[in-house]
Amino acid sequence: MLLTATQPIWSLLLPEAYSGLQSQPEGLSSHEAGERLERFGANRLPPLKRRPLLLRFTDQLVHFMALLLWVAGGLAFIDRAPQLGWAIWAVILINGAFSFWQEFKAERTLQALAGNLPPTAAWWWRISSTSTSRCSPANHYRLPAMPISRAARGSPRANAPTCC
C-alpha cells in the first residue's frame, strides 16, 4: 500500500500505516534506518528561498485588486478629479505597506516557532536520545496525552513527544 494525499496516514488503521511506511511494530532495524537515512536524507526542512524585501513589497502593489485601483486612480485623473486619483493611489500604498508589514511579522513569527522545535528525541524501545533529523518517517512516535495544565504535572517537559 502506498501513502497518498487522498488517504493520509492519520486516517489509516495501524496495520495499513505500517504497510504504507514499509515498517513493522518493532520499528526499523539499524541497517534499514541507516539505508533510509542515506536514501532520503536527514529529517530536515529545506531552507526557505526568500525573495528580496523590495520585490515582496512590490507584490503588495501589483496584485489584481491593486491593479484595478491603479487604473481607477488613473481614470480619476483623466476625468479631471485629481483629488480622487491621489486618494485612491494613497489607499493602494497604505494598504500595500500594512499588508507587507503583516506578512513580514508573520514570517518572523514562524521562524521563531521553528527555532523552538526540539533538536533531540528519546527512542521508544530504549532510553537514549538522538537528533530529530535522524528519525525516519517509519519510526515510532509516542505522543502521550497532554494534561489540562502542564504545571499540574510539575515539569513542563513531562509529556514531551518522543520518537524512535
What pLDDT, in 10s, does the model give residues 83-99? Answer: 999 999 999 999 999 99
The whole-number pLDDT of residue 136 equals 55
Given a cut of 60, is residue 15 above it in pLDDT?
yes
Measure the CA–CA gap between 100 and 106, rounded to whole angstroms: 10
Q: What are the boundaries of each domain within the chain?
A: 9-41+120-163, 53-114
- In order of 75, 79, 133, 142, the CA distances from 42 in angstroms are 56, 62, 5, 20
Nearest CA-CA partner of 145 in 158, 131, 129, 127: 158
Higher per-residue confidence, 105 vs 5: 105
Mean pLDDT of the residues in the chain: 77
Rounded to whole angstroms, what are the CA distances from 62 to 78, 92, 126, 148?
21, 9, 56, 47
* Cα 71 from Cα 14, distance rounded (Å): 57
Residue 30, pLDDT above cutoff 80: yes
41 confidence band (pLDDT: 50, 70, 90)? confident
What confidence category does residue 73 fall into, taking pLDDT thresholds of 50, 70 and 90? very high
pLDDT above 90 coverage of the chain, percent: 35
Name the one residue in this structure whose C-alpha cell is 530536515: 44
Eight-class DSSP state of 38: H
Pairing of strands 120-122, 129-131: antiparallel
